[in-house]
Amino acid sequence: MKGWVKALLPALSLLIASQALAEGGQSTIELSGTESTVKLAGELTQGSLIRGRAPADSQVWFNDKPLPVAPGGQFVFGIGRDAPLQHELTVQHSGGTDTFALQFSARSYDIQHVEGVAQRYVSPPPEVLARIRQDSVAVRQARTVQSELSYVFEQPVWPAYGRISGVYGSQRVFNGEPRNPHFGLDIAAPIGSPVYAPLSGVVTLAKDLYYSGLTLIVDHGYGVSSTLMHLDAFHVEVGDKVEQGQLVADMGATGRVTGPHLDWRINWQQERLDPALLMPEAAPPAHQP
């Protein structure tokens, strides 16, 4: 929050998140301040999307960033793969202001060292660099959408059946050079397998991109989106409203991949978060029941 706001609040209390409860598959933390009680659902760890509820008339800041608050007091925020571990949540409403210290835990990621990889796999050819730049602009725009859809506050379903073939945060080091970490959750199944919307929302991008192939982005509200990559075919288009569990695409092997899989990503605006942390089970069923 802004420095002048803080200065007006001499009785500012700094409280530590303590109580951990289990609720609906996700751990819940209750923050009891002198003025308000705030509930957070999610794990306080790197890569986590946290969904909160404050008293209905509250204003909420995550560190210095004001968060949009739903009419019922709900809000969301998240921290990235390598984010610092200490954060603050400030809740202000008619009764006063509470600032809560949030201590996140560090993750350890799967790092693989690979030697002797041919140059052509290491860098994209120069003729596609302009296209890659356009792709990232389109993705960034789709993820900047800030709607008041409230689907983000619901429990996601698995977007595909199959085997987990890649996890969030993993990274390869080619010839001593660290590559971009992997920010999705990979689910492998044959080409043409159904891909479902993990949460309801509105399609904000359906495009063939160099790295991620046929790519679908669905806005779930409050800056949170799902990205579904390497698809073989789309069943929806930009602007479509999709229901949770609706067939939106076929799994594929488009873009830079070694085999057919779905790469599912969760973003809070540009912050890349771990979809697995939102799911009560470690993996989806291997086959459609």
Q: Which residues make up the interface to Zn ion (CB under 5 A)?
A: 166, 184, 186, 263
Cβ proximity to Zn ion: between 12 and 164 the closer is 164
Nearest distance in Å: CB 140, Zn ion: 19
Cβ proximity to Zn ion: between 44 and 217 the closer is 217
Cβ proximity to Zn ion: between 17 and 279 the closer is 279
d(CA 164, CA 30): 32
Nearest distance in Å: CB 116, Zn ion: 23
Kindly report the backbone phi and psi dihedral angles of residue 122, in degrees, each rounded to the nearest multiple of 5, phi listed first: -85, -45
Q: Taking every pair of C-alpha atoms in the chain, what is the biggest distance, in angstroms?
A: 63
Residue nearest to Zn ion (CB): 263
Nearest distance in Å: CB 213, Zn ion: 11
Nearest distance in Å: CB 183, Zn ion: 8
d(CA 162, CA 250): 13
Cβ proximity to Zn ion: between 156 and 260 the closer is 260
Nearest distance in Å: CB 265, Zn ion: 8
Nearest distance in Å: CB 49, Zn ion: 18
Residue whose structure tokens are 């709900």? 74
Cβ proximity to Zn ion: between 9 and 174 the closer is 174
Cβ proximity to Zn ion: between 138 and 253 the closer is 253
- Residue 86, C-beta contacts closer than 8 angstroms, at least 6 positions apart: 101, 102, 103, 104
Cβ proximity to Zn ion: between 92 and 212 the closer is 212
Nearest distance in Å: CB 186, Zn ion: 4
